[in-house]
C-alpha cells in the first residue's frame, strides 16, 4: 500500500480486528485510529487487493467471500509475524549479539499501531509477505515454510504408512489464537490437503504450542525458523517432511538510504540464525 497510508501488514491487522469485533470504531480504537481513519484504511486495503472485503450497513459489517479468504490468510501472516518477533528476540540470539557488541542497546517490539519509523527512531523492520511500501529501502532475506513437528517419541509412535490425515488424527497440538490454526493447509506428494487438526491440547500462543510439542504433547504446525534450533538439537523431528505449508517471504526494511551500522551489525548477526531458505 502506498501514498502515506498503512503498510499492508498493519492494514491486515486492522481488517482482522474489524471482522472479529464487527465494528470499524472498535477496530480503530484498538489501533489508535478514529472510525473514519479505520474505514479509509480498509477501503485502501480493498483497493490495493482489488476486491471488496466487507459489506457495510448502518447496523453491522458482514464479510464477503473474498474477505473470508483474506481473513484466513491474514490470520496466518499475523500469527507468523508474532513468531518471527519471538525468534528474533530469542534469548540466545540476543545474548550472543550483546556480548559481541556490549555498547549497543536493543529494543525489539511488535506493534499493531501505525508508526512513523523516522519520527520514532526505528532502525530496522522485519516484515513478512511481499514488499509494498516504496518509501522504505529493503532487502529480501529469504522465505520460510510451516512444518509439521513433534518430539522423537511421538514420531516413533506414529504410523508412517497411514495417510497423512489418519496419521495425525487426535495427535495435534492446535494453535487456538486464530481461526487459521483450526485448519491446516499443506502441500505434498498428493497435492494440496486441507485438514482440521484434532487433539486434546490447544494454546493461544505460538511459543506455548512449540513448548508442548517439545515436551511430547503431539504434532504441531510451526514456522520453520521457529523450530530449526530444536530440530538441530534433536528435541523435535519433522513429521512427514515431504509435506509443508506454502513459502512466505521475509524482508528487512529501513528508512535511510544506507542502513545504519548498528542495524547492519544486528541484521548480519540475526539473518543466518533465522535459517531462512534462500528463495
Q: How far apart are CA 206 and CA 176, in angstroms?
A: 9
Residues 115-172: tens digit of each pLDDT = 566 666 777 877 777 666 667 777 888 888 889 999 999 999 888 788 888 888 889 9
The residues, any chain, with a CB within 8 Å of residue 91's CB and separated by 6 or more, are none
Does residue 118 sit within a domain?
yes
Supply the CATH number for residue 31's domain: 1.10.10.10
Place of cell 509412535: 157
Q: Do the Cβ atoms of 259 and 137 come closer than 8 Å? A: yes
Of 245 and 109, the structure prediction assigns the larger pLDDT to 245
Which helix (H) or strand (E) segment holds residue 171: the answer is: none
pLDDT of residue 90: 54
**122: containing domain:** 78-142+248-274
Does residue 94 sit within a domain?
yes
Place of cell 489418519: 166
Domain boundary among the residues 43, 73, 103 is at 73
Of 60 and 151, the structure prediction assigns the larger pLDDT to 151
Domain boundary among the residues 54, 73, 92 is at 73
Does residue 3 sit within a domain?
no
Our CA dihedral for 95, 97, 98, 102, rounded to 10 degrees, sits at 150
Does residue 279 sit within a domain?
no
How many domains are there within the chain?
3
Full-model pTM: 0.55
pLDDT band at 210 (very low <50, low <70, confident <90, very high): confident
Q: Do the Cβ atoms of 250 and 262 come closer than 8 Å? A: no
Do 151 and 231 share a domain, yes or no? Answer: yes
Amino acid at each position: 500500500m502506498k501514498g502515506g497510508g498503512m503498510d499492508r501488514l498493519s492494514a491486515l491487522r486492522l481488517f482482522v480486528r474489524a471482522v472479529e469485533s464487527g465494528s470499524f470504531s472498535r477496530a480503530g480504537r484498538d489501533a489508535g485510529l478514529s472510525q473514519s481513519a479505520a474505514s479509509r484504511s480498509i477501503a485502501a486495503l480493498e483497493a490495493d487487493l482489488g476486491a471488496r472485503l466487507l459489506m457495510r450497513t448502518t447496523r453491522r459489517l458482514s464479510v464477503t467471500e473474498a474477505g473470508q479468504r483474506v481473513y484466513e490468510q491474514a490470520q496466518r501472516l499475523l500469527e507468523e509475524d508474532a513468531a518471527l518477533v519471538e525468534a528474533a528476540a530469542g534469548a540466545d540470539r540476543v545474548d550472543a549479539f550483546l556480548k559481541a557488541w556490549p555498547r549497543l542497546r536493543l529494543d525489539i517490539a511488535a506493534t499493531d499501531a501505525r508508526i512513523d519509523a523516522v519520527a520514532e527512531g526505528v532502525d530496522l523492520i522485519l516484515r513478512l509477505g511481499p514488499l509494498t511500501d516504496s518509501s522504505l529501502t529493503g532487502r529480501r532475506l529469504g522465505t520460510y515454510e510451516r512444518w509439521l513437528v513433534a518430539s522423537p517419541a511421538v514420531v516413533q509412535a506414529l504410523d508412517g504408512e497411514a495417510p497423512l490425515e489418519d496419521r495425525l488424527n487426535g495427535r495435534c497440538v492446535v494453535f487456538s489464537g486464530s481461526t487459521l490454526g483450526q485448519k491446516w493447509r499443506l502441500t505434498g506428494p498428493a497435492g494440496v490437503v486441507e485438514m482440521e487438526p484434532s487433539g486434546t491440547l490447544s494454546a493461544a500462543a505460538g511459543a506455548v504450542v512449540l513448548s508442548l510439542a517439545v515436551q511430547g504433547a503431539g504434532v504441531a504446525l510451526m514456522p520453520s525458523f521457529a523450530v530449526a534450533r530444536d530440530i538441530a538439537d534433536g528435541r523435535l523431528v519433522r513429521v512427514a517432511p515431504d509435506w509443508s505449508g506454502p513459502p512466505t517471504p521475509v524482508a528487512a526494511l529501513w528508512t535511510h538510504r544506507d542502513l545504519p551500522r548498528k542495524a547492519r551489525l544486528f541484521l548480519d548477526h540475526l539473518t543466518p540464525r533465522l535459517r531462512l531458505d534462500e528463495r
